[in-house]
Structure 1
Amino acid sequence: MTDPALDLAALRHAAPPLAPGATYRVCFSGGLDSTVLLHALVETGVAPLTAVHIHHGLQAVADNWVTHCTSVCVGLGIPLETCCVRVAADTAEGPEAAARTARYAALRNVMQTGDCLVVAHHRDDQAETVLLRLLRGAGSAGLAAMRPFVPFAPGGLWRPLLDTPRATLQAWAQVRGLEWVEDPQNQDTRYRRVWLRREILPALRRVVPQCDAVLARTAAVLAEDAELLAEVATADLQTLRTGVTLSVRGLLALTPARRHHALRAWLAEQGFYAPDRAALERLDRDVLAARADATPVLNLGQCELRRYRDALHVMAPLPPVPQHDLQWRQGASLVLPAGCGSLQAAAPPPAALDVRFPQGGERLKPANGVHTRTLKNLFQEAGVPPWRRLRTPLVWHDGVLAWVGDVACSAQWQRWCQLHAWHLRWQVSANT
């Protein structure tokens, strides 16, 4: 057993500073790792501390774990928050990932501004994570695995034991006579992480005794690489970005590797998962390299990437707009369906108005124009992307098309609005 002592002074020194009123929230399952973490934090004087126990309800003995955690926290004089979560039974991500998703969602909910979530991941966990992500084909950012400190919810997440072997934690707990609970799922090799822990890593350690340390060092090196790549992507996006879009010409001027990294970073900024290599290659081929006058779209499930002229747009999938008319009789605003925003005015319309979406063939003589124009011509001249054209509200007054979103209106409509001192605007939603 190597290095059975925890460096409590280093632990206390590494504790991230808290803002006034914030607290360290310690994930406390009652198992060995979190038991050692909680006791070590108490010994170091890191404060204020609150333990958080997530009750998944996946085991028959889960209620007993709550009782155990309550007893430990009472003995230490630490408050305990227990959060009950419901884990989806049938998910594509699998039971392990579903439980993790539910757990972290609950933890986000208990976090207050400036709080620091403290978790007991150790070096053995890091080795398992590197191998798991290697088997999934992760890139450098994924293989960097877990970081000692990362932003989380309205605060941060700290892993103070990430460089500590599990054997050290067990020795430390035994010397102090600590008691902990055992999760039966940690013996079930049907779970890939448990299979790695119980079958693969022991075999690796027999051949390479320091394999956990080697894998942890690899993760640290890749974390530095990922940080450098993130800086490159940030610089590239500053050059490529125009408003909420990216320049297609600018993207094509980059090498494929650099372009793909910038795209992953851009999508992450919007809250979307990074697409895999195959999806990025389809984006290169079908969207970025399409004809200049084409308007291609790539559906990634979670989002859609659309090109119009030199701009690459990203948005959540667009629901279809209804084909029936909407009547605006009362109220100073009208909420439009299918996420198309709303019509806003300072007062209700002076007369009944009908609102519909383009269906083809509509024409309008703009207030500043000489000839009647098709909506297609008006949209093209205004640079409105095709998908937004279909979602642009049209206002009809006395059976005549009078107003086309924020693109054009008729002279009669303009005079009518001036007569009644009434002004209409379209409040566009972020995804329109």
Structure 2
Amino acid sequence: MIDLPGRLLRNLAPCRCAVTWRIAFSGGLDSTVLLHLLAHLAKSQSLPALSAIHVHHGLQAAADAWPDHCRSVCDALGVPLQVVRVQVQPGASLERAARDARYGAFIEVTQANEVLLTAQHRDDQAETLLFRLLRGAGVRGLSGMPRQRPLGKGHLLRPLLDVTRAELEAYADEYRLNWIEDPSNQDRQFSRNYLRHQVFPVLTERWPQAVATMARSAAHLGEAQALLDDLAQIDLARASTDSEFDWLGVPSLELAPLATLSAARQRNAVSHWLGALTRLPDSDHWSGWEDLRDATGDARPLWRLTDGELHRAGGRIWWLSGDWLGTPPAPGTWSDPSLPLALPCNGELTLTGQICDGPLQIRYREGGEIMHLPDRGHRNLKRLLNERGVPNFARGRLPLLYQGEQLLAVANLRGLSGSANDGWFLHWQPPPAIKV
């Protein structure tokens, strides 16, 4: 038998300095072996604190007994267990919805300097490669599951990706481990189950090393993706210029450096940038990027994606999500300007210095606003915003300070945000631009 404990320790070496190792413990064969290995290694090795997390989806009646099974296993091994119940959102793919719910729970519990360990193995990697190939995935998808990646405030690590299912079964038999057999794993309406039970037996009968060679191909594609990531970072560095409106806190890139690249390099750079912000469309649905890129100067193009929108303004592309996608309600009267004012769905407002007495109101643009400037007389607000190049998506959110019907200030804009002579200014802290 292979030295499974020794291999596991070598694979875990990069994260030995973590505070905690959390084991994603479903109760099935793979995670049971991983938990057992780590619990026994902890007796002779100086390891981070161990704990386990079991995610209960509640998708089938049999699953109600699984938390108790997991508790009994963890109690026997002396490993603390956290059971998290999640709600699986309905959708076209139950597999994906369950995975999203599961990883959402993992993200919530994984803190800084902690590592979540999952038990996917080499057979899983081969299945992932074939499954994604059949869906038309690109290099990133075909590189399979990464051995490690950021997760929540910590990291995820898959230390068994070079171990086969047969090796895990042999270990479980040697130590007489008990595990849960999920009935849904036999349901071949699920794509992965169909591949596992119908396709891979035929492949391995003809090509016995199919699983190993497919996993190796995934590793090669992972290296290719790393090179593409390096290229994306080079291209993004040229587009990551400063903007006069960085104070908005909205992620943005300068468009011109991107537009000089080939179409393939544009997609590579933009998808790398967007990958941390949203789920990406497949290669057949990138026309939104082309429309955004090629729009005429006076157009207001946007590209709607799963978790937000990409806008174009002032020669830049801007990522909006969360509160930035809605229309904030009018705040109304500011009863005590000496205190910060929380703006519903629109951040916070503060007033520094002493303003003249009288009730103050905060409003947003409706059109037709006029502002009196000491050196220029009465000016249309739209023209003033045009002069300062304020991005269109931000104009309806800029807090306007009124006293009666007089527009006194526009938050944060040079020359419009207060009175230099009287020493008072209106400061706006915009809402977070990234959905959390």
From the superposition, tell whether residues 9 and 298 of structure 1 become closer, same or farther in structure 2 (CA, over 3 Å): closer
Q: Partner residue of 1:171?
A: 170
Q: Partner residue of 1:190?
A: 189
CA displacement, residues 259-297 of structure 1 (integer Å, 9 cap, x when unaligned) = 11111111123x22223334433321x221111233322
- Following superposition, the deviation at residue 218 of structure 1 comes to 1.1
The gaps in structure 2 that reach 5 residues or longer are 243-250
User: Are residue 15 (structure 1) and residue 21 (structure 2) matched?
Assistant: no
CA displacement, residues 359-378 of structure 1 (integer Å, 9 cap, x when unaligned) = 222222323x3343211221
From the superposition, tell whether residues 21 and 217 of structure 1 become closer, same or farther in structure 2 (CA, over 3 Å): closer
From the superposition, tell whether residues 391 and 6 of structure 1 become closer, same or farther in structure 2 (CA, over 3 Å): same
Considering only aligned residues, what root-mean-square deviation do their CA atoms show, in Å?
2.6
From the superposition, tell whether residues 325 and 34 of structure 1 become closer, same or farther in structure 2 (CA, over 3 Å): closer
User: Are residue 399 (structure 1) and residue 405 (structure 2) matched?
Assistant: yes
* Separation in structure 1 between the aligned mates of residue 17 and residue 230 of structure 2, nearest angstrom: 31
* Percent of aligned positions that are identical: 38
* Separation in structure 1 between the aligned mates of residue 191 and residue 105 of structure 2, nearest angstrom: 24
From the superposition, tell whether residues 281 and 84 of structure 1 become closer, same or farther in structure 2 (CA, over 3 Å): same
* 1:10-159 equivalence runs, <5 A: 10-16=7-13, 18=15, 22-45=19-42, 46=45, 47=47, 48-76=49-77, 78-88=78-88, 90-92=90-92, 94-159=93-158
Q: Partner residue of 2:366?
A: 359
What secondary structure sits across from 1:162 in the alignment? coil
Pick the aligned partner of 1:341 from 347, 356, 375.
Answer: 347
User: Are residue 250 (structure 1) and residue 252 (structure 2) matched?
Assistant: no
**TM-score for the superposition, normalised by structure 1:** 0.88
From the superposition, tell whether residues 297 and 75 of structure 1 become closer, same or farther in structure 2 (CA, over 3 Å): closer
Q: Partner residue of 1:389?
A: 395
From the superposition, tell whether residues 53 and 298 of structure 1 become closer, same or farther in structure 2 (CA, over 3 Å): closer
From the superposition, tell whether residues 74 and 408 of structure 1 become closer, same or farther in structure 2 (CA, over 3 Å): closer
**8 Å CA contact 2:411, 2:426 repeated in 1:** no
* One-letter amino acid of the counterpart of residue 431, structure 2: S
User: Are residue 202 (structure 1) and residue 177 (structure 2) matched?
Assistant: no
* Separation in structure 1 between the aligned mates of residue 333 and residue 349 of structure 2, nearest angstrom: 12
From the superposition, tell whether residues 49 and 359 of structure 1 become closer, same or farther in structure 2 (CA, over 3 Å): closer
* 1:196-345 equivalence runs, <5 A: 196-243=195-242, 244-269=251-276, 271-284=277-290, 286-316=291-321, 318-322=325-329, 326-331=332-337, 332-337=339-344, 339-345=345-351
- Following superposition, the deviation at residue 43 of structure 1 comes to 4.0
CA displacement, residues 381-402 of structure 1 (integer Å, 9 cap, x when unaligned) = 1111122222222222232222
* One-letter amino acid of the counterpart of residue 413, structure 2: V
From the superposition, tell whether residues 371 and 109 of structure 1 become closer, same or farther in structure 2 (CA, over 3 Å): closer
Pick the aligned partner of 1:375 from 373, 381, 394.
Answer: 381
From the superposition, tell whether residues 203 and 363 of structure 1 become closer, same or farther in structure 2 (CA, over 3 Å): same
* Separation in structure 2 between the aligned mates of residue 147 and residue 268 of structure 1, nearest angstrom: 15
- Following superposition, the deviation at residue 139 of structure 1 comes to 1.3
From the superposition, tell whether residues 429 and 219 of structure 1 become closer, same or farther in structure 2 (CA, over 3 Å): same
**8 Å CA contact 2:409, 2:426 repeated in 1:** no
* Separation in structure 1 between the aligned mates of residue 137 and residue 18 of structure 2, nearest angstrom: 39
* Separation in structure 2 between the aligned mates of residue 213 and residue 136 of structure 1, nearest angstrom: 21
From the superposition, tell whether residues 348 and 135 of structure 1 become closer, same or farther in structure 2 (CA, over 3 Å): farther
**8 Å CA contact 1:32, 1:181 repeated in 2:** yes
* One-letter amino acid of the counterpart of residue 8, structure 1: P
- Following superposition, the deviation at residue 146 of structure 1 comes to 1.1
* Separation in structure 1 between the aligned mates of residue 331 and residue 11 of structure 2, nearest angstrom: 62
Moved more, 213-222 or 41-50: 41-50
* Separation in structure 2 between the aligned mates of residue 123 and residue 400 of structure 1, nearest angstrom: 69
* Separation in structure 2 between the aligned mates of residue 238 and residue 10 of structure 1, nearest angstrom: 39
**8 Å CA contact 2:309, 2:320 repeated in 1:** yes
What secondary structure sits across from 1:298 in the alignment? strand
What secondary structure sits across from 2:408 in the alignment? strand
* Separation in structure 2 between the aligned mates of residue 187 and residue 283 of structure 1, nearest angstrom: 41
* Separation in structure 1 between the aligned mates of residue 415 and residue 402 of structure 2, nearest angstrom: 10
What secondary structure sits across from 1:320 in the alignment? coil
* One-letter amino acid of the counterpart of residue 353, structure 1: L
- Following superposition, the deviation at residue 131 of structure 1 comes to 1.6
**8 Å CA contact 2:39, 2:79 repeated in 1:** no
**8 Å CA contact 2:125, 2:161 repeated in 1:** yes
What secondary structure sits across from 2:13 in the alignment? coil
Moved more, 297-306 or 160-169: 297-306
- Following superposition, the deviation at residue 187 of structure 1 comes to 0.7
- Following superposition, the deviation at residue 333 of structure 1 comes to 2.5
Q: Partner residue of 2:427?
A: 425
